[in-house]
A and B are shown apart, each in its own frame.
Chain A
Amino acid sequence: MELVKCDHAAHIIESLKYGILSEDIDRKIISANSEFINILNIPLKRENLIGLDCTLLADQVKYLYKNQNYFLNFINSCIENKKTINAEFELTNNRFVDITYIPYIHENQFLGHNWCFNDVTEETKNKKALKEKDSFYKNILNFIPADIAVFDADHKYLFINEYAIKDNNLREWLIGKTDFDYCNYRNINNDLAIFRKEQFNIAKTKKAAHSWEDRKINNEGETEVILRVLNPFLNESNNVEMVIGYGLDITKSKSNELHILREATKNKILLDNLKQTIFELTSDGKTISLNPAWLKLSGKTIKTSLDIDFVQFILEEEKQNIFIEYLTNSSKKELNLKFTLPTELINKVIKGFFSKTFDENNNVNSIWGTLIDETEKDNYQNNLINLVKKEQELNELKTRFVHMVSHEVRTPLAGILSSIELLEILNTTIPKKLKDNNYRHFSRIKSQILRISDLMNNVLLLGKIESGNFKANIEETDIIDKINTLLNENFNFDSESKIKFIYTGNPYFVLLDWKLIYHVIVNLLSNSIKYTKSSKKPEIHANFETKDFKLSIKDYGIGIPEKEIQNLFNPFSRASNVENISGTGLGLILVKSLVELNNGKIDIISKENVGSTFTITFNNE
């Protein structure tokens, strides 16, 4: 070996970034460069390595390598095969070395072993990182729940993700192929490929995204809708370099769309068929929509009524002002307004309801509302009011009439009566025979006058009670005192035959309206006297019991036939045995009404030719 060449070579070997280890045939180290020591972190100097037996060394250094067996196997196979070969190893210090074995063969003679160590840590790391990134993006693309494919400018597959094709082999096979190849492979017709190619060309020509909806029926017979998009990727010279295609399953949103559409249609049908007018206005009161009921209500077509200020449909100025105020006042959300809608035929009374809808910023979006035709209702109301007024007027008229008649009849009666009374007095001066005759006539006239008066009183009183205006003024009454006074004032003038008043039990004040009961007792007593032929006077019995108070007027008169007792309280009814005793037939019905007004009840017990007892019962609870 020439010295110069050796030095040159040694220098090169020393300067190389490779660790170089040379061994002779016996595996003894001839030389090792510094880099070798650096890479393997050997704590020895170069000079000290020379002469060491690598066979032994291998064993000693194997701990440097993560996979010791692998390393040893490699060394051994290299030694055996004596062929240039390299392999990569990971060191325990996390560095990577690439070891190349170069056998020193010169002129077909094996002269030694050479090992070339290359620190490939960085490269390995980069490779690894790259690989990781690669698989990272691949994973993303594979896991996105959408078909993703990348095509080159000729519509050949550059990439297709796992979601689109699950079969890994098919996926790999597809790279570099077209849809036509796919169709051939799958033995299906080319229609799909032709269609896709068309879309691809559109996208390529547009140089912009292009989309369409793919519809297909899945295994369960349901329609699936996929939105397919082709997005061309342009390079610097604005040519299509790649096209990215993806498909989104929009079945759900489509069905939602359909659902919404159906609902909207339903609503529209509803609105169209409603009898009530429903409308929508802009935030400043212009009509934007009206349902068909509007035509019936206003006589105007929807077309002519759109984009019109709603104020124009309000007749009254003050109502217009109220509406305008509602529009402009932001604090008013709803409005109920009764107004008149002028139409061709008649003006309609409308009850309108308005409601503002707001957007996210609380500004008025639109106003919707309803209109109800209240013209009829209004008319009915007015009619009703008029009828009531008329009835009130009639009532007033009736009352005034009654008053007038009452007064106009009574005053002449009073005149007649007083004349008769004067005649009676003047009568004293004429001869007795004439006197008796005259008295007879005077009595008759007087009784007839009083009869007319009584009848009038009864009729008027009955009328008052029937009209429901009459109310009893019920108070606690000292009935004993009252009855005594009554008897003294009206009946017991003749001190010989008096009407007896007998009471039993512990007296208490009875709740009744004496003015009415006075009338009742007077009436009943008058009846008793009238219908008694004998001289036996009637009697009043009063029973003060704890539960109730009973007042009985008992007479010993002609009595009432049993069958007719109940009928007696009917107007104008008189029993068949009254013969020529006069009576109007109204007294008892008035008595009954008055008793009932006092919360009492009246009963009759009677026997013909024996007598009658009328009993009034007042509850004491």
Chain B
Amino acid sequence: MLALPSQLHLIMNRREMKRIALIEDNYYFSKNLEHLLVLNNYTIDIYRTMQRAEVLMLDHKPDLIICDINLPDGIGNSIIQKIRKNKFYHFTPIIVLTGTIDVNINELFDLGVSKVFFKPTRFEILNSAITRLLTRKNGYEITDFFYKPFHKIFDILKLK
């Protein structure tokens, strides 16, 4: 095997197992959702508070963030703003999963949220949205981070 650059290694991992960050403080729901997502081949990190998310997400950069906007240490849009401020997550798609109906959806979209779902949402609908968002992201990522020659290498190595 050729010596692969370390970045490529990570990409390989990513392409197989997408990482989803779930920022939600309700225990049971978050556990269930994790289970459902794992069954669909995603890696999940659960963060119960904004503080924890801010710090720990840096170590495990997610491909997608599912976020509730009613956290113990943060209210509403400020959570999204915090995420978006960080350059690290600039391109990470965010799905907002919320229990309050009094959300200003337009504001959320302006802040860069990709989709807003109201609890309870059927999992299959949520899942299809996740898939759609990640496929798109995939496309962006390749063109952003790689030169074209590497496409050929991937084809050669027959990586999915």
- Which residues of A come within 8 Å of B, CB atoms? 399, 402-403, 406-411, 413-419, 421-422, 425, 446, 449-450, 453, 457, 460-461, 515
Contacts of B105 in A (CB 8 A): 515
Q: Say yes or no: A407 contacts B100, CB within 8 Å.
A: yes
Q: A371: shortest Cβ distance to chain B, in Å? A: 51
Query: CA–CA, A417 to B39, complex, Å?
Result: 16
Q: A457: shortest Cβ distance to chain B, in Å? A: 7
Other-chain residue from A411, A457, A461 in contact with B29 (beta carbon distance below 8 A): A411
Known: A415-B26, A425-B39, A457-B101. A410 touches B32 (CB 8 A): no
Query: CA–CA, A419 to B39, complex, Å?
Result: 13
Q: What are 23 A-B contacts with C-beta separation under 8 Å?
A: A403-B100, A406-B102, A407-B70, A409-B99, A410-B118, A411-B26, A411-B29, A413-B120, A414-B29, A414-B97, A414-B99, A415-B28, A415-B29, A415-B32, A419-B28, A421-B36, A421-B122, A422-B32, A422-B35, A453-B120, A457-B101, A457-B118, A460-B101
Other-chain residue from A399, A414, A461 in contact with B120 (beta carbon distance below 8 A): A414
Other-chain residue from B35, B70, B100, B119 in contact with A414 (beta carbon distance below 8 A): B119
Which chain A residue lies CB-closest to B124?
A421
Q: Say yes or no: A461 contacts B101, CB within 8 Å.
A: yes
Q: Say yes or no: A410 contacts B36, CB within 8 Å.
A: no
Q: Say yes or no: B29 contacts A418, CB within 8 Å.
A: yes
Q: Say yes or no: B102 contacts A418, CB within 8 Å.
A: no
Q: Say yes or no: A406 contacts B101, CB within 8 Å.
A: yes
Which chain B residue lies CB-closest to A410?
B99
Does B135 make an interface contact (CB < 8 A)? Answer: no
Query: CA–CA, A419 to B70, complex, Å?
Result: 21
Does B33 make an interface contact (CB < 8 A)? Answer: yes
Most chain-B Cβ atoms within 10 A of its Cβ — which of A407, A414, A415, A421?
A: A414
Query: CA–CA, A446 to B39, complex, Å?
Result: 20
Does B121 make an interface contact (CB < 8 A)? Answer: yes
Does B123 make an interface contact (CB < 8 A)? Answer: yes
Which chain A residue lies CB-closest to B28?
A415
Q: B41: shortest Cβ distance to chain A, in Å? A: 13
Q: Top 6 closest A-B pairs, CB basis?
A: A418-B32, A414-B119, A410-B99, A407-B99, A414-B120, A415-B29
Q: A113: shortest Cβ distance to chain B, in Å? A: 149
Query: CA–CA, A446 to B99, complex, Å?
Result: 17
Contacts of B39 in A (CB 8 A): 425
Q: A522: shortest Cβ distance to chain B, in Å? A: 13
Other-chain residue from A407, A418, A449 in contact with B123 (beta carbon distance below 8 A): A418
Which chain B residue lies CB-closest to A404?
B100
Q: Say yes or no: B100 contacts A416, CB within 8 Å.
A: no
- Which residues of B come within 8 Å of A, CB atoms? 26, 28-29, 32-33, 35-36, 39, 70, 97, 99-102, 105, 118-123
Query: CA–CA, A571 to B85, complex, Å?
Result: 46
Q: Say yes or no: B120 contacts A416, CB within 8 Å.
A: yes
Q: A563: shortest Cβ distance to chain B, in Å? A: 36
Q: A62: shortest Cβ distance to chain B, in Å? A: 137
Q: A406: shortest Cβ distance to chain B, in Å? A: 6
Contacts of A422 in B (CB 8 A): 32, 35-36
Query: CA–CA, A282 to B58, complex, Å?
Result: 83
Query: CA–CA, A416 to B123, complex, Å?
Result: 12
Query: CA–CA, A515 to B99, complex, Å?
Result: 18
Known: A411-B26, A413-B119. A418 touches B36 (CB 8 A): yes
Contacts of A413 in B (CB 8 A): 119-120
Most chain-B Cβ atoms within 10 A of its Cβ — which of A403, A446, A457?
A: A403
Other-chain residue from A409, A414, A415, A419 in contact with B121 (beta carbon distance below 8 A): A414
Query: CA–CA, A414 to B66, complex, Å?
Result: 14
Q: B75: shortest Cβ distance to chain A, in Å? A: 11
Contacts of A457 in B (CB 8 A): 101, 118
Q: B97: shortest Cβ distance to chain A, in Å? A: 8
Contacts of B100 in A (CB 8 A): 403, 406-407, 410
Contacts of A419 in B (CB 8 A): 28, 32
Q: A423: shortest Cβ distance to chain B, in Å? A: 10
Q: Say yes or no: B36 contacts A411, CB within 8 Å.
A: no
Contacts of A421 in B (CB 8 A): 32, 36, 122-123
Known: A417-B122, A450-B120. A411 touches B35 (CB 8 A): no
Query: CA–CA, A536 to B131, complex, Å?
Result: 32
Query: CA–CA, A538 to B151, complex, Å?
Result: 48
Q: Say yes or no: B102 contacts A410, CB within 8 Å.
A: no
Q: Say yes or no: B99 contacts A406, CB within 8 Å.
A: yes
Query: CA–CA, A425 to B119, complex, Å?
Result: 20
Query: CA–CA, A415 to B120, complex, Å?
Result: 8
Query: CA–CA, A161 to B89, complex, Å?
Result: 124
